[in-house]
Amino acid sequence: MLTLEQVKNHPDVKVYIIKANDFLGVIGYTEHGERHGNYVAKHARKILQELGYDTKTCELAAISGYIHDIGNVINRYSHPENSAYLASQFLKELGMPVEDRVVVMSAVGSHDEGTCDIVSPVSAALIIADKSDVHRSRVRSAKEITFDIHDRVNYAVTRSELHMNAHDKVITLKLDIDKEISDLVEYFEIFTTRMVACRRAARLLGCTFDVKVNGSAQ
């Protein structure tokens, strides 16, 4: 079975992630590099592990989470499809069977909230882990928070934790938001579509998805 560590060590993957993050920085996007990839990989795997999925499925979720944004090295607006195409090449080189490659490709290729289709447990776990990564550590420069709502909302989030209650089948995103920096209206203005995608993904896993901001359910 191909592992996440083997994928990480592929020389092309390292370059894709570094350069994609660099290019997004030029056009003003939040961090999409190693930190984000590792976060999504960790939480995508954890969601499926706690729900009792087999080891291979959990590893496919982790791999998908780590590489889902590499297509930004080509173009931001078609990055899910580009990510899937690039992934198909190096995953084949690494010996991943085609049956597993298509699971990764479909998850990566449909993870963007604007066009997301939740087609498998791997796809669902990737979407929830990706959309839950809201935190000030993703903001490249605090100087920009006055001008950019995405930077401002991310910077306002001082704590972000994704909790999985496998017994009750509830996935909860817990956020602490500094209202002096950004209010809840701004958060839901830009993240409502992401939260809807998370709820749809959780439904495929037989779960519900909740958001708690400053200790209160939303």
Domain extent for 151: 4-217
pLDDT of residue 184: 83
Q: Sign (positive/negative) of CA torsion 36, 37, 40, 46?
A: negative
Q: Write down the pTM of the prediction.
A: 0.93
Instruction: For residues 141 and 23, give the distance between their C-alpha atoms in angstroms, rounded to a whole number.
Output: 15
Total structural domains in the chain? 1
pLDDT of residue 99: 97
pLDDT of residue 186: 87
Angle ∠(97,101,102) on CA atoms, nearest 5 = 125
pLDDT of residue 218: 64
CATH code of 164's domain = 1.10.3210
Give 10-residue mean pLDDT values along the chain (218 residues).
Answer: 96 96 90 95 98 98 98 92 96 97 96 84 97 90 74 90 95 94 86 91 97 81
